[in-house]
Amino acid sequence: MTRILAAAQALPPHYVDQETLLAAFRALWGQKHFNLDRLEQLHRAVRVGGRNLALPLEQYAGLESFAARNTAWIGAAVDVGEDAVRKALLEADLAPEQVDHLFFVTVTGIATPSIDARLVDRLGLRTDVRRVPIFGLGCVAGASGLARIHDVLRGAASETAVLLAVELCSLTLQREDISIPNIIASGLFGDGAAAVVLDGGARGRGPQIKATRSVFYRGTERVMGWDVVDSGFKVVLSPTVPQLVRERLRSDVDDFLAAQGLARKDIAHFICHSGGPKVLEAFEEALEVPRAALQRSWDSLQTAGNLSSASVLFVLADLLHEGAARPGDKGLLLAMGPGFCAELVLLEWP
């Protein structure tokens, strides 16, 4: 049975509080006659206190092309990704040579060789490590990555896998785009990486992955994602996301749990992607849980912003580090993202 041995967070070193970022955007977009009161309203509504950036704030003005931003993305992604994996392996008490699989997820940059390949020598991984880079799943990819690793490991008790999620959202921002989705993204999304170490059940006593389910919602391709334009990735972010959560998530979760002989009342820990205040409120309504049940997600949003694929793994790491779970506890890890889709992962603590 697939077991989670450790989870670790890594943030780039350039922290900027939200007030400083807001001032920078006021200076940028005020020249374009954007309603600055509306800018401030949107930034404050996302309830993010500050974010870590891939680069020092003053260096962003010099990144005038997609090529420049993506080159910066590659360098920063390798650094923060290495940090996350080293921390996770240290927590799991494993050496890099013991890793059999390396899964890498992202949606904020492109690279060939991929970031996982660039980490093989830096981390000292074996030359026969099996790499799986995944691009395009966005916010759901942290949960989907765990599920896909479970597909591989549940028949391989002696093998070990690492899931690495790296998102550097600040390097995707379109400075010329004053649409509401881009303004919201400028206040909501942050930079960071998370790594999770799993094995087929031969080591440790971490939570087991008992079941997973993928859910795809037809006719929702324009709900969330990128439009690839000359200047890079232009955000697609529909205001219908919270409503989709309210309409669909409860029945999807109930069906998934019922297939395991469970109900929502049996779940002690809800590990939800920090998608933003409206999304978290929709999660609470759909799951019929109080604010306290998703407090770790709210806290992660406030301290780091929405980290796309890494967000749900940040929340998982916080839960594991707190040691709040007791033997027999069950947890539901869930995220939603471009497609539009959801991924559900059922956990149980031994």
Question: Which residue ranges make up each domain of the chain?
Answer: 3-199, 208-348
- Looking at the DSSP bridge assignments, the partners of residue 330 are 348
3-199 belongs to CATH 3.40.47.10? yes
| Residue of 139, 169, 272, 341 with catalytic role | 139
| pLDDT reported for residue 296 | 97
139 classed as catalytic: yes
Bridge pairing between strands 130-135 and 101-106: parallel
Angular region, 323: left φ>0, alpha ψ -120 to 50, beta rest: left
Instruction: Quote the distance between the C-alpha of residue 87 and its chain's center.
Output: 17
pLDDT bucket at 155, cuts 50 / 70 / 90: confident
**pLDDT higher than 90, residue 7:** yes
| pLDDT reported for residue 275 | 94
208-348 belongs to CATH 3.40.47.10? yes
Q: CA–CA separation, 45 vs 48, rounded Å?
A: 8
Report pTM.
0.95
**pLDDT higher than 80, residue 108:** yes
Fold match between domain 3-199 and domain 208-348:
yes
**pLDDT higher than 70, residue 19:** yes
**pLDDT higher than 70, residue 33:** no
**5: phi then psi, degrees, rounded to nearest 5:** -90, -35
| pLDDT reported for residue 289 | 97
| pLDDT reported for residue 28 | 85
Mean pLDDT for 101-114 is 97
Mean pLDDT for 248-276 is 97
**pLDDT higher than 90, residue 298:** yes
